[in-house]
Amino acid sequence: MVCGLLLLALWTTKKANSVLQQDSESEFWLLSDVHFLSSALHDNSIAFNQFAEGAAGKEMRYQAESLEAFVAEALEKRPTGVILTGDMTLNGEKASAESLAELLAPLQEASIMVLSLPGNHEIYNGWARIFDGDKEFYADQISPQDFKDIFSEGYEKADSVDRTSLSYSINLNDQYRLVLLDSCIYEEQVNWNQPTTNGRLKESTLEWLKDQLEAAKQQQQTPLLFMHHNLLEHNSLLKEGYILDNSAQLQQLLTAYQVPAIFSGHIHIQDITEGPSGIQEIVTGSYSTQELGYGVVTLTDETINYEKKVIDLDQWAAKNKRKDPHLLQYSNYQATIFQQDTTKMVRQQLASVTELTEEQINTLYTFIAKMNAALFTGDDVYSQEEKETIRHSEEYQLLATYSYFLKQYVDSLLEDKSPDNALTLPIK
């Protein structure tokens, strides 16, 4: 009995200190907010089309193809792994999660890791639906255990799994420890309620995280964190429901352990922001809106490098001899869907304004649509001269006169001061 306990203790110690790879350099691709809906859950008919037209700028009809193109790119470039930072499914449909896992399976077969963490849309989401004809029906929801089973690789490779959430840590190599945090608030059983948008780390999860950061410190590793919700403010108007409820508490812990960077999603925009303590938060934009963007994180002994990349689905469709004109001109098609959502927002805000002509409203839409697209793609850094030109433009003056909200929104788009598509951090 004593011998058995001794062997168990030795095995546990070895597992806790073992690393996944000996390579000093690794590359991870970040995929966020895919909002994938399995084709098995809709018949491309009335109810689905009505939903797709009001899906807040998400492209819903060619999701499988866009993911096939992503997988093909990854198989060609062969990163160490892919990390999905939540909202992988549209509304937590179990069938969507299973279909997504099947689409990503070729990566695992090629020894490219697939590590996943949940978003606020994933677990026990009462919005899970099947679209059939002109009706919607409830779809099977994802339980925490389902999530572990469907996206199992991260948990199988984990050095430690939090007992009270879906968080886990990956002891990558001698240089880095990756911590994937479950920041979501969800029900404990199947329900028909809307999902909770905001997020919070449980006290027990914070204690577990502290243990992981302490282990990284003892092993002289650099800890990197990944979660769905945002740690920092990325837009002055888009804060409520996006920033973690106990962000200040988490920031204090990360500062104490000198965590250099955290990677997140949720807000759908591409953005990089530095916190008061110097921590960098890198948000990878949604893969379902405006463009097929993803992040590439390269880890070396000396630096952490991040760069946004975009999948060219037009090229993929041509290479694979697809005949659908929307696929062959997908970048324009996807941008048009996103712009249509911006049009709705502008028209709703100006619906009660009778002083503006239709031509002026169209001009305002074009003005805001261009800036809105830049926000979501991370191309929203303006020089002082460009800011002055915008503020003195006829469009801006019209907004200042007729729409306080839209004027505020444009002002928020002018706040960004640093590039959002690339970053290099030295390892201290």
pLDDT in tens, the chain (428 residues): 434 433 333 333 334 557 888 887 999 999 999 999 999 999 999 999 999 998 999 999 999 999 999 999 999 999 999 999 999 999 999 999 999 999 999 999 999 999 999 999 999 999 999 999 999 999 999 999 999 999 999 999 999 999 999 999 999 999 999 999 999 999 999 999 999 999 999 999 999 999 999 999 999 999 999 999 999 999 999 999 999 999 999 999 999 999 999 999 999 999 999 998 899 999 999 999 989 999 999 999 999 999 999 999 999 999 999 999 999 999 999 999 999 999 999 999 999 999 999 999 999 999 999 999 999 999 999 999 999 999 999 999 999 999 999 999 999 999 998 899 999 999 87
Q: CA quadruple 95, 97, 103, 108: dihedral positive or negative?
A: negative
Give CA–CA dist 140/130, Å, rounded.
Answer: 9
Q: Are 309 and 295 in contact (CB under 8 A)?
A: yes
What per-residue confidence (pLDDT) applies to 19?
Answer: 85
Give CA–CA dist 367/390, Å, rounded.
Answer: 9
Q: Which two three-digit tokens encode residue 328?
A: 């062959």
What per-residue confidence (pLDDT) applies to 24?
Answer: 79
Total residue length of the chain: 428
Number of helical (H) and strand (E) elements in the chain, helices listed first: 15, 15
Give CA–CA dist 173/18, Å, rounded.
Answer: 8
* Type of residue at 8: L
Q: Are 125 and 141 in contact (CB under 8 A)?
A: yes
Partnered with residue 225 across adjacent β-strands are: 179, 262
What per-residue confidence (pLDDT) applies to 23?
Answer: 82
Give CA–CA dist 257/164, Å, rounded.
Answer: 22
Give CA–CA dist 57/71, Å, rounded.
Answer: 23
Give CA–CA dist 372/294, Å, rounded.
Answer: 19
Give CA–CA dist 96/90, Å, rounded.
Answer: 8
Q: Which of 152, 127, 172 is nearest to 35 (CA)?
A: 127
Q: Which two three-digit tokens encode residue 68?
A: 């096939």
pTM: 0.94
Q: Which two three-digit tokens encode residue 112?
A: 């490219």
